[in-house]
Structure 1
């Protein structure tokens, strides 16, 4: 990509970078050791990553580590219901890179928390098999559309521009959403060799919710009867989660500079189309925004990257 790069300031081993392309699309992120990070990562990236790497992991810790807009909120609430034995809505997880370090340290066991980081940046003890990690993969075209729409409807979280411009960034190693491209994020996940990882499919979860709830319960080693598992499957239907989010999510000072009352827009409010806009679990929503040429271009890039990286994943 031909970008004019302007560095706004430099910190120790970390810089805030603004990229403006030939069509005035503007993209801002933190760069550390060659990797891009969302500018909302707490403080200095080096220090935050060091804290995460050396975090004391408990045997019963569960990390929900998901590429953004792939089902984080959905998966997290399913996990917390199964672990607590309650159908209570838990909101959004504390995220290792975006929240204060003590937010997770002070949680009571069993702890469930989240991250969008590439697997290479996760706690060293988890890399050695301590605790459990759960992820979910989604069609990268649907992710791209969901991320772009979120960026359009929040404050300056890092991108201002067209869908075409963001598509170019999304498939590049400058994509802050995954500390590199979606392909690189998936490559890191596939190289995780420990049995403490469970990987689910977004599309399969949507089509077979109960079966995936059962799979999660087995992985989490929790014992519930069929009635409760059916209730969990019903509770995490998207309409139910959306209603819980709109009613029960409190204001937050952490995100007030980006969204109304500091409530992150996991789901859009308003008319039916708006409700579906941010995160409805819709499969194939990419068809409403990709042009034929863009779709064909993405398919070529997908095939090239899958072959080059030896990935075991397909658009289907």
Structure 2
């Protein structure tokens, strides 16, 4: 393994640990904020991505997709578990809490290959890294989009509660990395993730809005049921709408979700700290006026530069 460190401007150290076309990058800035990620072919990935990244991406790309497969693909902290459990209730015909999805990039790929049909699994990857057969229309892909200001606040608090898995430092330092191409949470910036989503050409994708799901839960449950081609009466669909309220999901996760050996090194009991507040507009309690204005400027410039058609409602 080759190790080298280079000193850049602003007293930022970049340490590279090369291994099979992958680099483990560690950045410590002038405020002692520490940021770590895996880099593969120019893209940043969470340090928890299995192995040397390339091998896992190859397995994902080559997945033998089944027509009844459903992939919940969501940018981190945008409503992954909320959406996943809604989908699972609709597909199972029960109101049971189904916990955390098997994430293609974060867990042993055999878990997906050995899942009985109909399979429902998850990913935080950009669309460009998803299974080739899904890009060609096989199976179904569902996503949900959220205000990036709320995302970055939720991400910061989650990472603080999970030890050294990618970031240690201040909110200001994390915000700087979130809006850079070094942002491992989405394989680049949130805007790059959204651009990949907008470039998806297949008709097998359903994209929902976090804000709208909050305001019109039942209507979105009906929309999901139609997309999934499941037949349930209004009473059951309204029961799902009641059972996916944030507080109920959080309580179920803390009480019934089984501990996992996979996550024991970053969580106290093997349960990921995935539920915090789930509110719209929580960023107002965290951003300074200057940070908000700077973020808005970056947002507007990125949307224009990438020719994005984003219609997400923000508060």
Shorter-chain TM band: over 0.9
**1:87–1:232 CA contact under 8 A, matched in 2:** yes
- Equivalent in the alignment of 2:3: none
RMSD: 1.1
Aligned to 1:172: 180
Give SS of 1:243's match.
helix
Q: Is residue 2:307 matched to residue 1:299?
A: no
Q: C-alpha separation between the residues in 2 aligned to 1:69 and 1:304?
A: 23
Matched with 2:41 is 33
- 1:234-273 deviation digits (Å, cap 9, x = unpaired): 1101111111111111111101010011110112xxxxxx
Residue 116 to residue 2, structure 1, CA distance change in 2 (3 Å): farther
For residue 283 of structure 2, the aligned residue among 272, 283, 286 is: 286
Q: What's 1:263 paired with?
A: 271
Contact 1:4 1:19 in 2 (8 A): yes
Match in the other structure for 2:5:
none
**2:144 maps to 1:136:** yes
Structure 1: unaligned runs, 5 residues or longer: 268-277
Query: After superposition, what is the alpha-carbon deviation per residue over 1:171-200, rounded to whole angstroms, capped at 9, x for unaligned?
Result: 111000000000000000010011100000
Deviation at 1:6, TM superposition (A): 3.0
After TM superposition, the runs of 4+ consecutive aligned structure 1 residues lying more than 6 A away are none
Q: Distance in 2 between matches of 1:156 and 1:26?
A: 9
Are the counterparts in 2 of residues 3 and 19 from structure 1 also a CA contact under 8 Å?
A: no
- Separation (CA, whole Å) in 1 of partners of 2:295 and 2:48: 28
Q: Report the alpha carbon displacement of residue 281 of structure 1 after superposing the two structures with TM.
A: 2.1
SS in 2 for 1:261: coil
**SS, match of residue 50 in structure 2:** coil
Structure 2 Cα separation of the partners of residues 215 and 197 of structure 1: 13
Partner of 2:98: 90
Aligned to 2:307: 310
Q: Which among 161, 166, 171 is matched to residue 163 of structure 1?
A: 171
How many residue pairs get aligned? The number is 305
CA distance in 2, matches of 1:155, 1:26: 12
For structure 2, list consecutive stretches of 5 or more residues without a partner in the other structure: 1-8
In structure 2, the residue matched to 1:154 is: 162
Offset of 1:3 from its aligned partner?
A: 6.1
Q: Give me the TM-score of the superposition, normalised by structure 1.
A: 0.95
